[in-house]
Structure 1
Amino acid sequence: TSGTTQASEQQMGNGVISTYQGKMALRAPLVCTHVAEGHSRAVLAVAATDDLLFTASRDRTVKVWDLTEGKESQTLSGHPNNVVAVKYDLESRLLYSVSSAYVRVWDLRTSKCLRTLCSSGSSTNGVVSGQQIPTGEAQMNDIALNHGGNILYTAASDRVRVWDVRKCK
């Protein structure tokens, strides 16, 4: 296991957000205006703020997109498997990504993984590696963050765990 994974160490993609070029019906109440492309496999989850878009993918990465510039700004790599959920807290600038039996807590100011939360209820500093789910752990299915960004809820197996994430800030 390595202590941290930095986006700067990974090969930065050249993802872009481009204007949608498909046909638009004149009377359509909803219109696709842009498309974000840059992952090498299917996108499984998205989250957004007014200025940022976060995409989680089967390519085992999370991409951070600058909506003002219309381009990819960071790639968070090293997840053990598909990234199936992503949440972001604007105030703390912490991003939470779900892959396998783990939630990684990323500081977007440094592009570092600060902590890894395990489905069993344990946690560790930095990154836990390994593609197989260890005995005693279960596949994480989803996460939710309360409005204040202090409580994280994780769904794995037949349980929901409640995490006080203020210590990560």
Structure 2
Amino acid sequence: MVGNTQDMRVIVEQSRRMGWPMWVMNAPTDAGDAQGNATTARPPVAWAFLRPIAWAPEACSSTGDLWLYVSRDWQGSGIAMRMIRRVFRECRRHGFDAITCWILGSNRRSLSLVRACRLTRWGNLPAVVDYGGLRFDLEIWGCKLDDPVWLAHMDRLERRHARLDARRSV
């Protein structure tokens, strides 16, 4: 998880250096911050990148590991869903045929997002993450990008969000 702007810069640089696809979303120009305060700059409020999973990189190079971050002020605003839909539309173009998301078992927002996208829970690594002496499960969620059931769900999701975006612009 990215805690500050410097952490984000390091991740952006690593993504560029390795050639991993990366998406950054800035705050909307007319929205200000999540509380409605006017802002002059358009800081990044969300980013995502894909990289091949680390396990057996030669054998698993077409399986992507999706990282997604939304700044605390923008969580719950719908930006994560907008970002993940964009990534899913573009990930095959970058050579991936399957996507995984590795999520802390206690991260309810991220788990809700992958469930809304109809990813499947592919695995659970019990209590393998240690944050300051606290142990957490690591859940692995994923999908095959050519799964017809998943594709149909994503098409419905795209149409639904297109209708919502059209209503907002009126």
| Structure with the higher fraction of residues in helix conformation | 2
- The alignment's TM-score, normalised by the length of structure 2, stands at 0.27
- TM-score (normalizing by structure 1): 0.27
Q: Which has the higher contact order (CA 8 A, sep 6+)?
A: 1
Structure with more of its chain in strand, by fraction: 1
